[in-house]
Chains A and B, each alone.
Chain A
């Protein structure tokens, strides 16, 4: 059975338990589900963060995540993939992103979840704007996110 891929970009929060239940419902070929969730921190270094506002490129964001999901399902024996990315204003403690990967065995699910997050950070067209005590500003991209994505292309 081909991997069931679910991709959503939404303002609303998500419920991780409900997403896992939806992914595994009625299936007996899934032996492992790995869940990664990215959460808004209240600080960045020494600076307090009041909120993040996430902007995205509609159309391309979905396409780019779908391309990465396809790469993951081609590389690992996955049975299902769910990626949910929130946009809009998000305050500390709130969810930002969810990646679920399912497989018959844990190794593929762990590896694919790490791969997907590394690729999303470096390549999916989303941008964070930070509200702090000193005003608001766009978050700078980090070179270690590019390095994290690049490690998957080394053999």
Chain B
């Protein structure tokens, strides 16, 4: 699946998107955040406060317990500050 990062999540990780293949025991958004955080220092820094991170699956906001199976694109970003 494709993962996208925005704002300071993107800056901390150092890339705006990538394709990942998490193991099958990674079922939810929470699981995926924990798995990504274990991929290295930059990821650990980006996801150090998981409660702050917002997620979207296929362009729609989801809660952290949302199941990720079947997702084409998952995005992680800080709370929004538009308008």
Contacts and interface: CB of A to CB of B under 8 A. Distances in A.
A126 B75 CA distance: 13
Given A59-B59, A63-B59, A125 B80 contact: yes
A86 to B, nearest CB: 10
B6 A57 contact: yes
Contact of B7 (A63, A117, A138): A138
Interface residues of B, number: 16
A128 B79 CA distance: 11
Contact of A120 (B4, B56, B82): B82
A141 interface: yes
Interface in A85-136: 85, 96-97, 117, 120-129
A63 B59 CA distance: 7
A41 interface: no
Contacts of B7: 55, 127, 129, 138
B81 A125 contact: no
A128 B59 contact: no
A38 interface: yes
A145 B76 CA distance: 20
A117 B82 CA distance: 10
Contacts of A140: 79, 81
B83 interface: yes
